[in-house]
Amino acid sequence: MGEDPMHPLQGEARIMSFLNISVPPFEAFVRAEFLRNNEDSHGVKLPCMIFGMASVPGSAPLFHFMMEDGGMWWRMPIHAFSWKEDAPDQELDELVLWDSFSYHVSVTQFAMLKNKKIQFISRRREKYRGTYMFTLDWAHEDETMPNLGLSEYPSHHKCGHFIRMDNGNFAIQPNNRLTVHDPSFCTKPDQLVIHRKYCSTQWSAERNWRWVTPDTDIMEYDHTDLESGEKNSERSAAYNEQDFSLTKKDDTAV
């Protein structure tokens, strides 16, 4: 029997994608000069269907697509595409702020953000508006290999929101460069409610030396931090004695 691709413990669904990943497919135009090594065909736009992405550290996010004649192309930067035929040509670094952080990438279309209007500020301090499509995020997935990137450092981690711009192009921008329009919840669009700072803390709930679970097979324990000088063996013995007493009482009743 073959693997069930939807089973959580089988197939690619159980790990982050390495190098290549599917994105929600969408129609676009590709600028023909990118198919001609930028030597000619400038100003020509051809229909395409974008369906995948490659994450290569040191390179901007790169996208895979197919064309009307069945031809396919791998690893094209985002400024090669538009969704309007009259979209202006723009520099890559005006549309994308950061290169990919890792070979391991995820693609998520957050339900809360689906089709939400987005406004972002570019590298050149220009304001653009568009529509949210999906989010790229990176991590170091392979624990058998040294982590040589910054994808999991709290103060350096960045995701990339894929945006369909109103001017006809596409952009990928991190949280700190954009705002989202939600007419019900985001009711203070012209007011900065707080000056946010980068987080430098790695949050963990397992750093309290006084918290140790009881050494027992009792499932429903009511355990708190160990008191000063208290040994976990003493606390565990008390749980076991309690369990023995209840078991003994039940045996007597029978």
Specify if 192 maps to a domain: no
Give kind and range of the element (H or E) at residue 64. Answer: strand 62-67
Query: ∠ CA 88-80-84 to the nearest 5 degrees?
Result: 45
Three-state SS for 68-83 is: CCCCEEEEEEHHHEEC
Phi, psi of 11 (to 5 degrees): 65, -165
Residues 171, 120: contact at Cβ < 8 Å?
A: yes
Q: Which of 146, 181, 216 is the last residue of a domain?
A: 181
Q: Give the range of the structural domain holding residue 122, as residue numbers without chain letter.
A: 11-181
Q: Which of 116, 147, 181 is the last residue of a domain?
A: 181
Whether residue 235 is found in the same domain as residue 147: no
Whether residue 37 is found in the same domain as residue 134: yes
CB atoms under 10 Å from CB of 50, counted, come to 22
What 3-state class would DSSP assign to 229?
coil
Q: What is the pLDDT, as a whole number, of residue 244?
A: 64
Specify if 85 maps to a domain: yes
What 3-state class would DSSP assign to 248?
helix
Whether residue 171 is found in the same domain as residue 234: no
pLDDT beneath 50: ranges in the chain = 1-14, 253-254
Specify if 99 maps to a domain: yes
Specify if 191 maps to a domain: no
Specify if 58 maps to a domain: yes
DSSP codes joined into one string, 150-207? STT-TTT---EEEEEETTS-EEEE-GGGEEEE-TTT---TT--------------S--
Specify if 63 maps to a domain: yes
Distance CA 160, CA 3 (A): 32
Whether residue 122 is found in the same domain as residue 211: no
Q: How many domains does the chain divide into?
A: 2
Distance CA 178, CA 175 (A): 6
pTM of the entire predicted model: 0.77
Q: What is the pLDDT, as a whole number, of residue 55?
A: 95
Specify if 106 maps to a domain: yes
pLDDT per residue as tens digits for the range 173-183 = 999 999 999 98
What 3-state class would DSSP assign to 252?
helix
pLDDT per residue as tens digits for the range 98-126 = 999 888 899 999 999 999 999 999 999 99
Amino acid, single-letter form, for residue 171: A
Cα–chain center distance at 38: 32
Q: What is the pLDDT, as a whole number, of residue 154?
A: 58
Specify if 6 maps to a domain: no
Evaluate the CA torsion angle 11, 16, 22, 23 in order and state its sign.
positive
